[in-house]
Amino acid sequence: MNPEELQQRPYRAGFGCFVGRPNAGKSTLTNAIVGQKIAITSSKPQTTRHVIRAVLHRPDSQLVLVDTPGLHRPRTLLGERLNDLVRQTWSEVDVIGLCVPADEPIGRGDRFISGELAELKATVLAVVTKTDLVDRKRLAEQLVAVSELADFAEVVPVSAVSGHQIDTLVDVMTRYLPESPQLYPDDMLTEDPEQVLVAELIREAALEGVRDELPHSIAVVVEEMIPEERVIKIYADVYVERPSQKAIVIGHRASRLRDVGVRARRQIEELLGTRVYLDLHVRVAKDWQRDPKQLRKLGF
Ligand SMILES: Nc1nc2c(ncn2[C@@H]2O[C@H](COP(=O)(O)OP(=O)(O)OP(=O)(O)O)[C@@H](O)[C@H]2O)c(=O)[nH]1
Ligand SMILES: [Mg+2]
């Protein structure tokens, strides 16, 4: 596009979000689009718990991506709160991408979600994610199957890992944004408080290598961030639901917790661009996922 064409095009700005069942690749896609790690990701379902906003700046548009948890059948009060967050976000965005992984059959969860989306005023696209995991034949079949799920404005296959079609997806989403002045200042990547992003990076590190119900039981709260001359001191609490889980998270002679600290510190240093001293404490908040008071304390 030459500069003249760019001048003639109206500036567009607005909100988009990806929805889909847990583990569909929503957060990875959000990070790939803005080119920076804003949202944490993991191979465990229900990784995302906080709504995170990431801003993509282009000369003629601003796309604000709102990363939400995966919609699922809730089994705890936390689960209900997360689903509420998702539905609230749906009502506030201009364009929604329903994410369906290329390598998994379409299921009841996908049908349920696409049914609910039909009621909204936002434009709904289908995004077939993780295309790097399947061959062309399988992808073609999945594109057909997804198109039959609902009346989507467009169906776009992408891979966040290889980068395939990421720009195309942004072009398509931008087309459905309203004409609007810029919403955020030029270089703003996210409006989310640093403490939340830091807590999320710690939780991501703590999720690695734990199994079964434990990933869901982990919550992280950053208590204090103290900037000093050449280092930021961060004090954070890692919450679990039972004493037995505490032992697992800490590990033999605290070896696991040390590893978590090292991994998290590297990520936080990258985010903040300065050296970090990280102090982690593991605490038990009994059955916090089902307890309204504990949930409030943990930020839900
Ligand atoms: N091969 C491949 N893996 C991907 C791709 N996108 C995501 N993944 C993997 O899929 C898993 C889930 O990714 P997330 O981005 O955390 O999924 P999510 O939809 O945000 O999950 P929740 O937050 O739990 O709802 C992770 O292990 C990712 O590395 C992709 O394009 N290709
Ligand atoms: Mg996520």
Give the pLDDT confidence of 255-278 residue by residue, as tens digits.
999 999 999 999 999 999 999 999
Residue 158 Cα: closest atom of ligand 1: 31
Give the number of residues written for the chain. Answer: 300
Q: Which residues, other chains included, contact 180 with Cβ-Cβ below 8 Å and sequence gap of 6+?
A: 11, 12, 13, 14
**pTM summary value:** 0.88
Question: Any long-range contacts for 278-281 (C-beta under 8 Å, 24+ apart)?
Answer: 278/202, 278/234, 278/236, 279/233, 279/234, 279/235, 279/236, 280/202, 280/236, 280/237, 280/238, 281/235, 281/236, 281/237, 281/238
DSSP class of 179 = B
Instruction: Look at residue 8 in the predicted model and tell me its pLDDT.
Output: 75
Q: How far apart are CA 213 and CA 13, in angstroms?
A: 40
What type of residue is 44? K
Q: How far apart are CA 55 and CA 235, in angstroms?
A: 28
Strand partners, 52: 67
Q: What distance separates the 2 farthest-apart alpha carbons in the chain? A: 65
> What residues flank ion ligand 2 with Cβ within 5 A?
26-27, 47-48
Residue 31 Cα: closest atom of ligand 1: 15
Any ligand 1 atom below 6 A from CB of 23? yes
pLDDT-derived band of residue 212, with 50, 70 and 90 as boundaries?
confident
Q: How far is the CA of 215 from the centre of ligand 2 (A)?
A: 13
Segment 17-35 mean pLDDT: 93
Q: How far is the CA of 204 from the centre of ligand 1 (A)?
A: 13
Q: Which residues of 49-59 are buried (b: 16+ CB within 10 A; e: fewer)?
A: bbbbbbbbbee
Segment 114-132 mean pLDDT: 93
Instruction: Look at residue 209 in the predicted model and tell me its pLDDT.
Output: 82
Q: What mean pLDDT is reported for the chain? A: 92
Higher pLDDT, 72 or 1: 72
Any ligand 1 atom below 6 A from CB of 68? no
CA 124 from chain centre, in angstroms, equals 19
Q: How far apart are CA 90 and CA 109, in angstroms?
A: 17
Q: How far is the CA of 252 from the centre of ligand 2 (A)?
A: 30
Residue 5 pLDDT greater than 70, yes or no: no
Segment 111-138 mean pLDDT: 94
Any ligand 1 atom below 6 A from CB of 71? no
User: Could you give the percent of the chain with pLDDT greater than 70?
Assistant: 98
Strand partners, 101: 129
